[in-house]
Structure 1
Amino acid sequence: MKSLRIGTGAGFAGDRIEPAVELAAKGDLDYLVFECLAERTIALAQEARLADPEAGFDPMLARRMQAVLPIAAARGTKIVTNMGAANPLAAARLVRRLAGQMGFGRLKVAAVTGDDVLDRIGPLRLDETGAPAAALGGDLVSANAYIGAAPIAEALDRGADIVICGRASDPALFLGPLVHAFGWGMDDWDRLGRGTLVGHLLECSAQITGGYFADPGRKDVPDLARIGFPLAEVTENGDAVITKVAGSGGRVSRASCIEQLLYEIHDPACYLQPDVVADFSGVTLNETGPDRVEVRGGQGRPATGSLKVSVGYRDGWIGEGQISYAGPGCVARGRLAIDLVRQRLAEAGPRVLETRGELIGLDAIAPGVTLPDVSEPCEVRMRFAARCTSAEDARRVGEEVESLYLCGPAGGGGVIRQLRQVIAMASTLIPADQVTTRVDMVEDA
């Protein structure tokens, strides 16, 4: 039975580059996929593009391509990525230039566009509020639909060696190469479901090879400092073996694969994707050897006809300050510092939308939860943040924390201040027939 090898070069925008190089060099890959786009990331990318028409793609794009292109070109490995973010065409032009500079001018680079639906979402109601997107007015930054595998497969059908997308569904980045390589029909629901399963298992890079899985003493994982990224050996019917490069750090096990299988899945029998409604309820996973897990049993049925849209919008400013207290009574002094900042902001009357005061290491993640037989810590880090309507009001938050050096409880030190604009995310659905994708072969640098 025909098979191919597809690996993960990144699972988020800030992922490591070295494991991708290792995969390219030692994984004997047909395809290397870089999944680098989160929901909020693309809204930030849209803002960057507004400031510079040639910006708006992943800032690590050049570094990643410079690292892997020489190996991929020599071995005939094709690359698929969503690092195009808000500007796939500019990203493709950059990669084309880099390829030429490195002596690989023969490589064909494709840009997939059409996910930007900002001009069509005004009347669509946001899931979070029920209000139409148009109500956001000038605060609306971006609206990108999750497109599927078909345009990626089309780009590969047209001879692309590198395919650069914007907001594609994460599993679709892997499904596209499978559709192209195996000639699957876009109505072959069970194979599309199994291909989506493979993509879902691979999309988060080291999460399935033991990174996020690791929990010392409970789930020990060897050599995390050199963790390898996953690859799949996929057959023509969509069954797969998940593994990694021999000698790389980490571990592929049935347990790590099960954790990833359930990651971000609301209903395993009804995983909504642009191309298919995937059904993982009958999936079986079996360890067939060290770092080898066989995956079988995914199914699928017709897609819903709607596409999710991530909507980015400006939602005020956050001002933040932090200060440390140590020694006897540090918790009481930290709580007093929180009370002082909150009182000062209330008296000054800035337009504060919400506040949060916490002691990092004590109640920052699970406020009100205490562990038995745990004495008071010897140090705490007080953090106070507030979301405000203006940058000026938000800036005041950090100033008030800094004033605690002399005006607050004893022993405070190590103040830092931050100010940032909030880019919030909402979601809606758009009819799939209102989203038209396009594949452009970028021939000139």
Structure 2
Amino acid sequence: MRSIRIGSGAGYSGDRIEPAVELAERGDIQYLVFECLGERTVALAQQARMKDSDGGFDPLLEDRMREVLPICAVKGIKLVTNMGAANPLAAARKTAEIAKALGLSLKIAAVIGDDVLDACKDGDLPFMEIDGTMKQLGNRVLSANAYLGAAPMAEALSAGADVVITGRASDPALFLAPMIHAFGWAMDDWNLLGQGTVAGHLLECAGQVTGGYFADPGFKDVPGLARLGFPIGEVGEDGSLVITKVAGSGGAVTAATCKEQLLYEVHDPERYIQPDVIADFSQVKIEQLTPDRVRVSGGRGTARPETLKVSVGYIDGYIGEGQISYAGPGAVARGRLALEIVRERMRLTKVATSETRFELIGIDSLHGETLSVRAGDPYEVRVRVTGRTESLREAVRIGNEVETLYTNGPAAGGGVTKSARDVVAVASVLLPRALATPSVQFVEAAS
């Protein structure tokens, strides 16, 4: 029976690069997947694209490509990623430029069509998690990106792409696409697609399934976390799956790590809704074969939904924050007085907030553990005041009030920081799938 090995090179945008290099060099993989797109990441990337039309893709794309492309080119490893974020075409062009500069001859494909902002506005779709519709948000909307499925990525691979870069796509679909391409799975073979989705879901968060998120000292000890190895999925053409990692790398692949990841972000195990299939995890069986080798079976599926989930990014007000530290005898009392002063100042000056937090954080961040342990009360505390506002101007005022504690508050405060920023929130709508029309576009480096 034919099988492929898929390596998971990243579980989020800022993930480590070394484990992906290790997978490419020593993992004996045919596909390397970088899953780098969180729920808010596209909206933030859309903001970046508004400032620079050639921007809006993952900020680590260039670093990652320079590290892994030479290895992948030599070993014939295909790369699939959602590092395109809000601008997959620009990401593909940048990757082509990098390949050319490295003297590599590679076919680079962009999957476009996840940006469905116009279609969503035209339909005035209701939100799933909050009250209201998209039109009611007006110009606060930043982006609307549909979760695409595996089909266009598989199409790009079948057309000869060495690198496939997409924007918003279902996380498991990034891994499902190589399976569909390699094995020729039909897009209505629901049980195969369901089992492939199980594999993708286990691999999508990279180091989580090899013990990173699992670790809890004294209860669930995991060795070598500083050089954690990322997972490899050995997938057969019948959907069979073994999760493993590079021999000698840190971390662990156990039945328990896989069970925890299987349940991660799953609301209904019988109906894990994806753009390609509604997967059923309820009969999944997980078996430890040998150290760092776990067999996963029993995934099933039913027909895909007629709608696509769309992640809508929007501006949801502003956050202002100020912090200041107090240390030494009476630090806690001075910290509490500082909070009282700021609370009263915000009332007197009528800072307009819809939500506030006044808190003391920290025990030993200033003068170290030795001095702090000797004190009855914590030897040091950090005051933090935050508030949500409707304007940036009001948000700025919160940090300013904390800063005035330098000379107008309790003795010996120091280390003030303050910030004010907009809040990028996300909510979801459902869009008829016919209104999202993904396509594949091959790019070349500019002459």
Same fold (TM over 0.5): yes
Give the counterpart letter for 2:92 in structure 1.
Answer: A
Residues 295 and 375 of structure 1: CA distance in aligned 2, closer, same or farther (over 3 Å): farther
Runs of at least 4 residues off by over 6 Å = none
The residue number in structure 2 matching 1:64 is 64
**In the TM superposition, what whole-angstrom CA distance separates every residue of 1:254-311 from its partner, at most 9, and x where no partner exists?**
1111110000000111101001010111111111111111111100001121111111
The residue number in structure 2 matching 1:84 is 84
Tell me, yes or no, if the aligned pair for 1:405 and 1:413 is still in contact at 8 Å: yes
Identity of aligned residues (%): 62
1:52, distance to aligned residue in structure 2 (A): 1.2
The residue number in structure 1 matching 2:319 is 318
Give the counterpart letter for 1:118 in structure 2.
Answer: L
Give the counterpart letter for 1:120 in structure 2.
Answer: A
- What CA distance in whole angstroms lies between the structure 2 residues aligned with 1:33 and 1:112? 15
- What CA distance in whole angstroms lies between the structure 2 residues aligned with 1:331 and 1:281? 51
Indicate the larger mover: 378-387 or 30-39: 378-387
The residue number in structure 2 matching 1:111 is 110
- What CA distance in whole angstroms lies between the structure 2 residues aligned with 1:94 and 1:32? 19
The residue number in structure 2 matching 1:365 is none
Give the counterpart letter for 2:25 in structure 1.
Answer: A
The residue number in structure 2 matching 1:94 is 94
* 1:187-206 correspondence runs (5 A): 187-206=188-207
**In the TM superposition, what whole-angstrom CA distance separates every residue of 1:40-73 from its partner, at most 9, and x where no partner exists?**
1100111111111111100110000000000000
- What CA distance in whole angstroms lies between the structure 1 residues aligned with 2:184 and 2:380? 61
* 1:185-334 correspondence runs (5 A): 185-334=186-335
Count of residue pairs the alignment pairs up = 433
Whether 1:53 aligns to 2:53 is: yes
- What CA distance in whole angstroms lies between the structure 2 residues aligned with 1:328 and 1:287? 54
Indicate the larger mover: 79-88 or 401-410: 401-410
The gaps in structure 2 that reach 5 residues or longer are 364-374
User: What TM-score comes out, normalization by structure 2 length?
Assistant: 0.95
- What CA distance in whole angstroms lies between the structure 2 residues aligned with 1:440 and 1:68? 22
The residue number in structure 1 matching 2:354 is 353
The residue number in structure 2 matching 1:30 is 30
Give the counterpart letter for 1:249 in structure 2.
Answer: G
**In the TM superposition, what whole-angstrom CA distance separates every residue of 1:210-237 from its partner, at most 9, and x where no partner exists?**
1111111111111111111101111111
- What CA distance in whole angstroms lies between the structure 1 residues aligned with 2:14 and 2:64? 11
Report the RMSD for the aligned CA atoms in angstroms: 1.4
The residue number in structure 2 matching 1:434 is 435
Tell me, yes or no, if the aligned pair for 1:121 and 1:134 is still in contact at 8 Å: no
1:409, distance to aligned residue in structure 2 (A): 2.2
- What CA distance in whole angstroms lies between the structure 1 residues aligned with 2:344 and 2:304? 53
The residue number in structure 2 matching 1:159 is 160
- What CA distance in whole angstroms lies between the structure 1 residues aligned with 2:337 and 2:188? 63
The residue number in structure 2 matching 1:7 is 7
SS in 2 for 1:294: strand
- What CA distance in whole angstroms lies between the structure 2 residues aligned with 1:75 and 1:375? 61
Tell me, yes or no, if the aligned pair for 2:32 and 2:77 is still in contact at 8 Å: yes
- What CA distance in whole angstroms lies between the structure 2 residues aligned with 1:211 and 1:338? 37
* 1:129-140 correspondence runs (5 A): 129-140=130-141
Tell me, yes or no, if the aligned pair for 2:100 and 2:445 is still in contact at 8 Å: no
Give the counterpart letter for 1:119 in structure 2.
Answer: D
1:444, distance to aligned residue in structure 2 (A): 4.2
The residue number in structure 1 matching 2:418 is 417
- What CA distance in whole angstroms lies between the structure 2 residues aligned with 1:398 and 1:138? 27
- What CA distance in whole angstroms lies between the structure 2 residues aligned with 1:130 and 1:208? 35
- What CA distance in whole angstroms lies between the structure 2 residues aligned with 1:334 and 1:238? 58
Tell me, yes or no, if the aligned pair for 2:351 and 2:398 is still in contact at 8 Å: no
SS in 1 for 2:354: strand
**In the TM superposition, what whole-angstrom CA distance separates every residue of 1:103-146 from its partner, at most 9, and x where no partner exists?**
11x21000001110110112101123331101111111000010
**In the TM superposition, what whole-angstrom CA distance separates every residue of 1:310-352 from its partner, at most 9, and x where no partner exists?**
1111122211111112334433332222222122112112332
Residues 375 and 283 of structure 1: CA distance in aligned 2, closer, same or farther (over 3 Å): farther
Residues 375 and 268 of structure 1: CA distance in aligned 2, closer, same or farther (over 3 Å): farther
**In the TM superposition, what whole-angstrom CA distance separates every residue of 1:61-118 from its partner, at most 9, and x where no partner exists?**
00000000000000000000000000000000000111011011x2100000111011
Give the counterpart letter for 2:60 in structure 1.
Answer: M
